[in-house]
Amino acid sequence: MNATLPEPSRHLYIGVIAFAAVVVFVGFAPSFYLRGFFHEPPLSSLAMAHGAVASAWIVLLLTQSLLVRTGNVHLHRQLGVAGAVLAAVMVALGVWTALVAAAHGTIGDRVHAPPLEFLIVPLGQILIFGALTAVAIALRRRPEVHRRLMIVATIHLTPPAVVRAAQGLLHVDSPLPALVIASALVILCIVYDAVTRGRVHPVFAVLAPMTILSFPARIAFSHTATWHSIAGWLVRGISQ
C-alpha cells in the first residue's frame, strides 16, 4: 500500500474497495453485522474472530486508499506494516475457519454442495488473496504493480459475500453470482486501464483473468478422487 497514485488509478482503487465493502456488509449483515435483528444462532468464537479481522481489513483498505488520495503517504506506509500482519492473520483464520466448517459439514450448505468438495472454493479464494497480497507487499516500491495486485486481491474477498447476498435478496442458491461479479470487476479493471492508460497492465490483462479461471478449474478438480483424498487429509483430526 504505497506511493502516490495517478488520479485515474485512485478512482479505480477506491471504487473497487468501496464496492467490496458494501457487498461484504450486505452479504454478512444477517449473520454478522446486524445479526441481532435477524435472530440468527450464536456464532462460534472462531467465526466472530474471522469476521472481525476481515472487517478490519476492509476498513484498513479504505483508510489506506483515502490516505494516498489525500497525499498522506507517510502514514499510509506506516499502516502498511500493520496491514501485512493483519493480512497474515486473516489468511490463517480464513483457512482454519474453512477447515473447521468442512469438518463439521456446514460449508457449502448454502449452495447445496458436499462439504469436502466445496472446501476447495473458500480455500482457493483465501490462498489467492494471500498470495496476491504477499506479492503486492513485496513489490510495494513498484506502485503500478502493487496497487493492481491489491485491487485483484480485494476482488477475491467478494465471492462469499456475493453468494450470501444473492441468497438473501434474490433467493439464488448458487456460486454463479459470485463468479459473475468477480468476472465483471476484472473486466472493469481491464477496460479502465485501456481507457485511462491506452494499454492494459499485465496484472489486469493476464493475472486477474487467470485467478477468475481458477474458479471453474477448482470446481472441476473438486469432483476428483485426488481432491477428496486431499480434503479428507486436511480435515482429519479436527474435532467433529
167, burial (CB in 10 Å: exposed 0-12, middle 13-18, buried 19+): middle
- Rounded to whole angstroms, how far apart are CA atoms 209 and 156? 12
- Rounded to whole angstroms, how far apart are CA atoms 51 and 197? 37
pLDDT by position in tens, the chain (length 240)? 444 444 555 678 888 999 999 999 999 999 999 988 888 788 899 999 999 999 999 999 888 888 877 777 778 788 888 889 999 999 999 999 999 999 998 898 888 889 999 999 999 999 999 999 999 999 988 888 998 999 999 999 999 999 999 988 888 888 889 999 999 999 999 999 999 889 999 999 999 999 999 999 999 999 999 999 999 999 987 855
Angle between helices 7-28 and 176-197 (to 10 degrees): 170
C-alpha cell at 117: 468438495
CA 61 and chain centroid, separation: 12
- Rounded to whole angstroms, how far apart are CA atoms 1 and 57? 12
For cell 489506506, the residue is 64
